[in-house]
Amino acid sequence: MFDWLQELAAVNHKGQVAVLVTVANIRGSGPREIGAKMIVTPTEVIGSIGGGQLEYQCTEFACKQFKDMSQSTMKRRYVLGSNCGQCCGGVVDVLFEFLPTSSILWLEKLIEHQENNRPAVIVTSTTDVSAKYVVTMDECDTESPSNVVDNARSMLNAGALACMSGEFLFEPIRKSTFNIVLFGAGHVGAATVDVLSKLDCNIRWIDSRKNIFPNTLPLNVNTITRPDPANEIGMVESGAYYLVMTHSHPMDLDICDRILRRDDISFCGLIGSQSKRRRFERSLKKQGIPVARLQDLVCPIGITGILGKKPTEIAVAVGAELLMARDQQFKEKRIAPLLEVLG
């Protein structure tokens, strides 16, 4: 998972200059969403704003700023068809921010808020190099214009997405709400965590066996060893996505029973065949799970059409199904962009 705050802090800590490249606005179709970023230094490019000619031209322009040592923030417009020869057909505004080797106050503030799980909005002026504000629900920079603060807080209240409003780019910095709970650290479980950890999500990975987890894990993966993994279900926040793939069918059954007794889950997936599903349905009915609730049990898991049984193939199919479930919920909740929030 690309964490641009931590990546930028690491670059700054090394004493390197950088240009922060951000997709500021899109009309029509574009290769990435508003707020997508990459960090360009004199020696490397970190992250991506969509690849292709757009990214190539933006990287080239960012590198020119090192030669000029320009301290300005600039916005450039790229017409993907005529400027970049890309078939998307959209128009993309890209923001270029030159960042010096000295400490960056707004970056330090954002990382502090991130570490304390405090949602914030970073507001960047596209016309004034010095105008960059950090706003939370109860804090803001003293020089922040009142309308900027009000708009940023409206955005936090609504859970809105990054958006341009007038001359300002508003970007939410909040912990991902895509929470995945995965039971089982066997070959398929490990492959699934490897695939999912590259997404903007939080993974709680649970197993009953000691010394089963890898020594090195991505930052968004938290491992838990419990003799009775099902007891962890009561500790999970609402709206989580559950995947059950332990080494034990009785353990799988107990875990599924506990999950389906909750009324606030987003997804419950069980690895196995149609035969395993039928057996589990019979057992869960006997244990008091309503027939209607059993419809929420997804088994087999993974999108249709992928027939491979190798761990990574299963992991890719499962990851795709989770993304489909997440995006469907996103549409139903209709998280509004900032312009709709502000009316």
- Residue recorded with tokens 């034990």: 248
pLDDT above 80 (res 103):
no
The pLDDT tens digits of the residues spanning 30-47 come to 889 999 999 999 999 999
Residues with Cβ < 8 Å from 58, sequence gap 6 or more? 21, 38, 49, 76, 78, 94, 96
Give the model's pLDDT for residue 66. 86
Of the listed ranges 46-60, 137-151, 198-212, 329-343, the least confidently predicted one is 329-343
- Higher per-residue pLDDT: 175 or 19: 19
pLDDT in tens, 317-327: 999 999 999 99
Q: What is the pLDDT of residue 255?
A: 98
Question: The whole model's pTM is what?
Answer: 0.82
User: Cα–Cα distances in Å, from 10 out to 15, 35, 145, 300, 305?
Assistant: 9, 20, 30, 42, 42
Q: With CA atoms as reference, report the closest residue to 298 among 237, 241, 246.
A: 241
More confident of the two residues 4 and 143:
4
More confident residue, 335 or 61: 61
| DSSP for 73-120, written as a single string | EEEEEEETTTTT--TT--EEEEEEEEE-SS--HHHHHHHHHHHTT--E
Please check the confidence at residue 129 and state whether its pLDDT lies above 70.
no
Asked if residue 334 has pLDDT above 90, the reply is no
* pLDDT at residue 330, rounded to an integer: 76
Give the number of other CB atoms < 10 A from CB of residue 307.
8
Residue 109 pLDDT level (bands cut at 50, 70, 90): very high
> 164-213: per-residue pLDDT in tens?
988 899 999 988 889 999 999 999 999 999 999 999 999 999 999 999 99
Give the chain's mean pLDDT.
90
Going through the chain in order, the beta strands assigned E by DSSP cover: 18-27, 37-40, 45-47, 73-79, 91-99, 120-125, 132-135, 163-165, 168-173, 179-183, 202-207, 221-225, 241-244, 267-270, 297-298
Q: How sure is the predictor about 160, in pLDDT bands with cuts at 50, 70 and 90?
A: confident
Q: What is the DSSP letter of 230?
A: G
281 band by pLDDT with thresholds 50, 70 and 90: very high
Q: What is the pLDDT of residues 41-87, one digit of tens each?
A: 999 999 999 988 999 999 999 999 888 776 678 899 999 876 666 66
Residue 325: the pLDDT is 95
Contact 185, 207 (CB under 8 A): yes
Question: What crossing angle do the helices spanning 249-260 and 274-286 adopt, rounded to 10°?
Answer: 60
pLDDT digits (tens, 9 = 90+) for 235-266: 999 999 999 999 999 999 999 999 999 999 99
And the tokens for 98?
């030159």
Q: What pLDDT does residue 87 have?
A: 63
- Say if residue 125's pLDDT is above 60: yes
Q: How far is CA 133 from the centre of its chain?
A: 23
Percent of the chain residues past pLDDT 90, beyond the cut: 72
Report, in angstroms and rounded to the nearest whole number, the Rg of the chain calculated over CA atoms: 23
pLDDT score recorded for residue 141: 80
What does the pLDDT read at residue 88? 64
Q: Give, in degrees to the nearest 5, the angle at Cα 167 between 161 and 170.
A: 20
> What would the DSSP string read from start to end of 34-67?
TT-EEEE-SS-EEE-SS-HHHHHHHHHHHHHHHH
Is residue 336 pLDDT above 70, yes or no?
no
Go through the domains of the chain in sequence order and give each one's CATH number. Answer: 4-99 (no CATH), 105-175 (no CATH), 179-330 (3.40.50.720)
Predicted local distance difference test score (pLDDT) of residue 286: 96
Q: Which has more confidence, 101 or 338?
A: 101
Cα–Cα distance for residue pair 47/77, rounded to 1 Å: 20
